[in-house]
């Protein structure tokens, strides 16, 4: 989402219009699916049109393109399949370039598929997106209960928007359609589509965030309705098996008439069967590697100078949306603990926090941003000198090239979420380690830990001293161990890349489809 698809789907909304970031894929991904039969449905769109001012004061239309992650992965698939992508038209110039039915052919320079926009009012966005999606479902699924609020009006609007999506889907559906829903914004839509279309179409859903345990999920007053909506799907995918088990257990506990085989990931409800499977999402590792190899030394030096990063100290890096699930204050406190209790580390490394503003209309996010600024300022005040700034906050959206420089030249990456569906930053950092010398410190509570856990330094993000120890261990790790760990991580990230993920999902679709017919 965003900057890359996933961040954009979940609200980061930074995109770069320079270059379409298209992974190279082999055709097996699409060969098993009928042409014109795939409909992708997501909150955020792959292409967004917006007005920009030209030098002579005129207005022109610019297009933001997919720049990484799932959007960039699915875009070429859609181009080959000539399918339809249905999403909220949130760009200010979207209506100008769409036809009266809200459709525009994309990509703009060589159109091959249809982007069908769904128009939402400001009140819809406030209640469906900033409300129920991001103040009920997001915190609930991340077990951030203090940030969770269930507002019945927001829920009604969430359902109404899901209904709008469902109606739009039905207009595009044929009996051959494969309809692929993305994420927590659309939990009710599959049930609605199923009700209107019957059993012929193949519906699948990828849920990009964690699924909580039964005692947590049942807190939600709308828990049963959400489960029923999702069980309109033939297949539901999560990043890791833990979330699959949690989902199956929730259905088993909360829907009396269901029959659930947790081990097999099979649910029967209302006479229909839904398969529940884990598909750990990957990144476009090859492209990240090439980009990292191409980082110009001079551009990197300029970047450091621009941001006031001491050219001679080592770098520890964090790259996150500013979200309370990412564990940023806890991370900063562990750095503070390290510099406080082991003064020998003062002046020896700088922590760079690339923090993208996100969902700022929501108070919890404003508070988080303020907390991050306050702790950083306090640390800089306590330990900084004329020559050395301990914490550098970068809030600008970086180009992928700049991000590659940060990844490649940082000695250590701190990926320490309190809870995270997967976390693509961890994999991107690994893919960018073309010199085999970076150390990844990774939270045990990130989905990516299931795949990378063996070769990273694992931490519990709530354990401030434990994190401080891990940072010290990373900075003192012998070169041979660093290289050994790094090579293993890189192998894993390349083997389980975005293309492998897409192939895995689509091959299950074609297996399940043939079982169904
Ligand atoms: C959700 C789930 C799951 C960040 N700053 C810049 C920039 N980024 C990019 C990173 C990375 C992406 O943002 C963040 O992805 P994550 O996976 O870490 O996190 P969420 O946004 O929370 O995504 C998560 C994901 O969905 C996929 O299913 O892994 O668990 O929460 O790609 O590179 N990119 C650029 N400039 C920046 O300044 N270009």
Give the distance (Å) from ligand 1 centre to CA of residue 3: 8
Q: Is 317 found in the same domain as 264?
A: no
Which pLDDT value is given to residue 501?
Answer: 93
For residue 162, the number of C-alpha atoms closer than 13 Å in the C-beta half-sphere is 27
Q: Is 252 found in the same domain as 115?
A: yes
d(CA 65, CA 49): 9
* Residue closest by Cα to atom 30 of ligand 1: 421
Q: Is 328 found in the same domain as 276?
A: no
* Residue closest by Cα to atom 18 of ligand 1: 423
d(CA 220, CA 376): 35
Q: Is 218 found in the same domain as 158?
A: yes
Sheet architecture: strand order including 103-106: 103-106, 113-118, 84-88, 38-42, 178-182, 202-206, 235-238, 272-278, 266-269, 259-261
| Three-state SS at 459 | strand
Quick one: which atom of ligand 1 is closest to the CA of 397?
Answer: 38
Q: Is 323 found in the same domain as 187?
A: no
What is the value of pTM for the model shown?
0.93
pLDDT in tens, 289-341: 999 999 988 888 898 999 989 888 999 999 999 999 999 999 999 999 999 99
Report residue 80 as tokens.
Answer: 């080959």
d(CA 274, CA 98): 36
Which residues sit with their C-beta closer than 6 Å to ligand 1?
A: 3-4, 6-7, 10, 12, 14, 68-69, 208-209, 281, 319, 321, 354, 356, 397-398, 400, 403, 420-425, 428
d(CA 138, CA 174): 32
Whether 509 shows a pLDDT value over 50: the answer reads: yes
Q: Is 416 in contact with 441 (CB distance < 8 Å)?
A: yes
Q: Is 267 found in the same domain as 331?
A: no
Domain count, the chain: 2
User: How long, in residues, is the chain?
Assistant: 517
Q: Taking residues 44-53, what's their average pLDDT?
A: 95
Q: Which of 1, 5, 6 to mutate to test the pocket of ligand 1 (most atoms within 8 A of CB)?
A: 6
Say if residue 271 is exposed, middle or buried (CB neighbours under 10 Å; 0-12, 13-18, 19+): exposed
Q: Is 304 found in the same domain as 432?
A: yes
Give the distance (Å) from ligand 1 centre to CA of residue 11: 10
Q: Is 297 found in the same domain as 259?
A: no
Q: Is 336 found in the same domain as 381?
A: yes
Of the candidates 422, 71, 109, 362, the one whose C-alpha atom is nearest the C-alpha of residue 238 is: 422
Q: Is 201 in contact with 384 (CB distance < 8 Å)?
A: no
Q: Look up the domain containing 47 and give its range.
A: 3-282+499-516
Q: Is 329 found in the same domain as 258?
A: no
Q: Is 243 found in the same domain as 347?
A: no
Give the distance (Å) from ligand 1 centre to CA of residue 10: 9
Q: Is 306 found in the same domain as 216?
A: no
pLDDT in tens, 346-403: 999 999 999 999 999 999 999 999 999 999 999 999 999 999 999 999 999 898 889 9
Give the distance (Å) from ligand 1 centre to CA of residue 283: 11
Which pLDDT value is given to residue 4?
Answer: 29
Q: Which of 212, 403, 424 to mutate to test the pocket of ligand 1 (most atoms within 8 A of CB)?
A: 424
pLDDT in tens, 471-482: 999 999 999 999
> Residue 405 is part of a domain; what is its CATH number?
3.40.50.2000
d(CA 74, CA 23): 9
Quick one: which atom of ligand 1 is closest to the CA of 12?
Answer: 21
């Amino acid at each position: 989402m965003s900057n890359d698809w996933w961040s954009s789907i979940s609200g980061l909304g930074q995109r770069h219009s320079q270059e379409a970031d298209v992974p190279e894929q082999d055709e097996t991904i699409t060969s098993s699916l009928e042409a014109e039969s795939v409909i992708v449905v997501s909150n955020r769109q792959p292409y967004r049109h917006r007005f920009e001012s030209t030098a002579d004061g005129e207005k022109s239309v610019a297009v933001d393109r997919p720049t990484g992650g799932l959007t960039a992965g699915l875009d070429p698939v859609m181009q080959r399949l000539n399918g339809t992508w249905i999403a909220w038209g949130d760009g200010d110039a979207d209506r100008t370039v769409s036809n009266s039915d809200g459709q525009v052919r994309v990509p703009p320079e060589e159109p091959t598929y249809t982007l069908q926009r769904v128009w939402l009012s400001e009140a819809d966005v406030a209640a469906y997106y900033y409300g129920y999606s991001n103040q009920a479902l997001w915190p609930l699924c991340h077990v951030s209960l203090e940030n969770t609020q269930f507002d019945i009006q927001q829920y009604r609007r969430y359902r109404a928007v899901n209904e709008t999506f469902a109606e739009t889907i039905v207009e595009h559906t044929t009996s051959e359609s494969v309809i692929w829903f993305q994420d927590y914004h659309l939990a009710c839509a599959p049930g609605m589509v199923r009700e209107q279309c019957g059993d012929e179409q193949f519906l699948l859903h990828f849920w990009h965030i964690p699924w909580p345990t039964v005692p947590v999920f049942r807190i939600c007053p709308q828990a049963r309705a959400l489960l029923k909506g999702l069980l309109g799907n033939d297949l539901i995918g999560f990043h890791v098996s833990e979330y699959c088990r949690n989902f199956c257990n929730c259905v088993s506990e909360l829907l009396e008439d269901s029959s659930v085989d947790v081990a097999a990931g099979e649910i029967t409800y209302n006479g229909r069967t839904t398969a529940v499977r884990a598909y750990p999402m990957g990144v476009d590792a090859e492209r990240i590697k090439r980009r990292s190899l191409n980082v110009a030394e001079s551009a990197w030096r300029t970047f450091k100078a621009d941001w006031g990063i001491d050219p001679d100290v080592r770098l520890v890096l964090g790259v996150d949306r500013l979200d309370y699930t990412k564990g940023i204050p806890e991370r900063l406190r562990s750095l503070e603990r390290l510099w406080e209790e082991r003064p020998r580390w003062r002046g020896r490394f700088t922590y760079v926090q690339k923090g993208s503003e996100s969902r700022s209309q929501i108070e919890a996010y404003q508070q988080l941003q303020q907390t991050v600024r306050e702790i950083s300022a306090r640390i800089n005040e306590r330990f900084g000198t004329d020559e050395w700034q301990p914490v550098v906050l970068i809030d600008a959206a970086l180009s992928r090239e700049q991000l590659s420089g940060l990844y490649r030249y940082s000695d250590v990456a701190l990926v320490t979420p309190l809870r995270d569906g997967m976390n693509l930053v961890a994999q991107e950092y690994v893919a960018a380690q073309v010199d085999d010398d970076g150390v990844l410190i990774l939270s045990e509570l990130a989905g990516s830990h299931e795949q990378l856990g063996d070769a990273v330094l694992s931490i519990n993000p709530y354990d401030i001293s434990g994190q401080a120890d891990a940072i010290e261990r990373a900075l003192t790790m012998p070169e041979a161990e660093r290289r050994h760990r790094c090579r293993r991580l890189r192998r894993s990230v390349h083997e389980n890349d975005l293309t492998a993920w897409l192939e895995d999902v689509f091959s299950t679709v074609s297996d399940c489809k043939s079982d169904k017919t």
